[in-house]
Structure 1
Amino acid sequence: MKLRIEDNSLRLRLSAEEVQQFADAGRVAAVVPLGPTPDESLTYALERAETEELRVTYGAGALTVKVPATLASHWTTTDQNGFSATLMVAEDQPLKILIEKDLDCRH
């Protein structure tokens, strides 16, 4: 899974295998070590949730994008390439979220 953070946007791109894992397990995650101990890492994840709206949580080195179950199911079982939302994380602070299938990935 690829993570791209730029200005007020967050983008996740999943390979076909990761899309299938997300469909089967409801979660896919990756860890980026930033130091010698496990506490010094960044975990980012896409997670199916029983919520009505896309949400983002962050804490203790973990960034999680939570996707409503109905949207997750539709995305993983159709040819829909991606979906997006804009969240207001604070007053006058929008965060654009984009989730995409990276099906042309060859590496």
Structure 2
Amino acid sequence: MKLRIEDNSLRLRLSEEEVQHFADAGRVAAVVPLGPTDTDSLTYALERTENEEFRVTYGAGAITVKVPAALASHWTTTDQNGISATLMVADDRPLKILIEKDLDCQH
């Protein structure tokens, strides 16, 4: 899974295998080591949730994008390439979320 952070946006791109894992398990994650210990890392994840709206959580070196289950199911079982949302994280502070299938990618 690839993570791109730019200005006020997060973009996740998942390989075909990662899309299938997300469909089966409801969660897919990647870890980037940033130092010598396990706590010196950044984890980013995509997670299915029963909540009705998109959410992003951040804490303890982890960014998690949470997608409503119905939307996640539709995305993983159709040829729809991407899903997106704009979250207001504070007054006048939007965060754009884009999740895409990266089906041509050969990791």
SS at match of 2:19: helix
Normalising by structure 2, report the TM-score: 0.99
Indicate the residue corresponding to 1:36 in structure 2.
36
Q: Find the aligned partners of 1:50 and 1:56 in 2 and give their Cα distance.
A: 14
TM norm structure 1: 0.99
Q: Percent identity?
A: 87
1:70 counterpart residue number: 70
Unmatched 5+ stretches in structure 2: none
Q: Which runs of 4+ in 1 moved over 6 A?
A: none
Instruction: Give the aligned length.
Output: 107
Q: CA deviation at 1:64?
A: 0.2
Q: Which residue of 2 aligns with 1:49?
A: 49
Give the deviation of 1:106 after TM superposition.
2.0
Partner of 1:8: 8
Q: Give the RMSD, CA atoms, in angstroms.
A: 0.5
Runs of 5+ in structure 1 lacking a partner?
none
